[in-house]
């Protein structure tokens, strides 16, 4: 299994920042934060009591005891998650410098091979959602090295830690509730839900709110599994882009209609330009 190099993961903090900015604008929906939400805290000692109060609130909002037990038993305050959150840095690199670390010859070669291997699947996805395979494979490669590194943080523990932390408590409380709903409807078990430190999961890294809204069961197995199913992950990514206004047949480079849609995927312009660059290189090679 090919794994991304450290340099290939260097944009992680920037990506998380962009995703969190986008998530903070989401309207509260069916999994809205309860008005009874337990008070936040800034250190580990208060976490166990907060978690018990959070469980009671979630149960009152309709989450089953079975789901709560499966998802939150054994969850503890994660100092590593807080360290990542506090250590975020916004990169101000040029496109040339930033993209040179990510759009490597090895990644291009792998991407081209996957375009051929999944040609039939990608054609079906494009027919339904209007998003070219080159764009989806570019995102897939930059997010997780084509599914080779989806992240190692326990999603429930990461989200619970960030929901307890006062920095963005309401936002992550909402995402934690969304993650509980993913378990409740049977898409994945809590043990299967591992991803980035900010709660992003799957081969293309969805926050739980986006997972619920845009995740699709493209392989027809009855579950929307963005971690183990490449078909579900790529189709869900296309569904996200379509939902944000993707125009079939239009360009995606800066100044073209779909560049703004890619900014809905990630608000960091240098990262979006890198997606566009890789997708264009893949298209030119076809």
Task: Give per-residue burial for 185-212: e unless 16+ CB within 10 Å, then b.
Answer: eebbebeebbbbbbbbbbbbbbbbbbbb
Annotation marks residue 184 as catalytic:
no
132: its two tokens: 């070219």
Catalytic residue among 143, 174, 175, 200: 143
In the 3-class helix/strand/coil scheme, how is the chain assigned residue by residue?
Answer: CCCCCCHHHCCHHHHHHHHHHHHCCCCCCCCCCCCCCCCCECCHHHHHHHHHHHHHHHHHCCCCHHHHHHHHCCCCCCHHHHHHHHCCCCCCCCHHHHHHCCCCHHHHHHHHHHHHHCHHHHHHHHHHHCCCHHHHHHHHHHHHCCCCCCCCEEHHHHHHHHHHECCCHHHHHHHHHHHHHHHHCCCCCHHHCEECCCCCECCCCECHHHHHHHCCCCCCCCCCCCCCCHHHHHHHHHHHHHHCCCCCCCCCCCCCCCHHHHHHHCCCHHHHHHHHHHHHHHHHHC
Residue 98 to residues 42, 93, 257, Cα–Cα distance (Å): 34, 6, 23
Name the residues annotated as catalytic: 143
């Amino acid at each position: 299994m090919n794994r991304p190099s450290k340099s290939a993961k260097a944009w992680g903090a920037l990506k998380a920042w962009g995703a969190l900015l986008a998530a903070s604008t989401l309207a509260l929906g069916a999994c809205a934060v309860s008005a009874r939400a337990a008070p936040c805290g800034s250190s580990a000692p208060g976490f166990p009591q907060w978690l018990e109060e959070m469980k009671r609130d979630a149960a009152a909002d309709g989450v089953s005891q079975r789901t709560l037990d499966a998802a939150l038993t054994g969850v503890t305050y994660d100092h590593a998650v807080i360290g990542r959150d506090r250590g975020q840095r916004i990169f101000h690199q040029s496109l040339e410098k930033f993209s040179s670390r990510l759009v490597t010859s090895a990644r291009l070669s792998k991407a081209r091979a996957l375009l051929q291997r999944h040609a039939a699947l990608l054609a079906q996805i494009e027919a339904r959602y209007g998003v070219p395979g080159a764009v989806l494979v570019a995102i897939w490669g930059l997010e997780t090295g084509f599914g080779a590194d989806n992240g190692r943080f326990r999603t429930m523990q990461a989200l619970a830690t960030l929901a307890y932390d006062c920095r963005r408590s309401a936002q992550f409380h909402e995402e934690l509730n969304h993650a509980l709903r993913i378990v409740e409807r049977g898409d994945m078990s809590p043990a299967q839900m591992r991803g980035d430190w900010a709660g992003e999961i799957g081969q293309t890294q969805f926050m739980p709110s986006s997972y619920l809204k845009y995740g699709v069961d493209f392989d027809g197995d009855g579950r929307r599994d963005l971690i183990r199913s490449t078909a579900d992950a790529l189709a869900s990514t296309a569904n996200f882009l379509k939902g944000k206004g993707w125009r079939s047949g239009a360009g995606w480079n800066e100044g073209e209609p779909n560049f703004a849609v890619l900014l809905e995927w990630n608000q960091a312009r240098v990262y979006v330009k890198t997606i566009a660059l890789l997708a264009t290189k893949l298209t030119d090679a076809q």
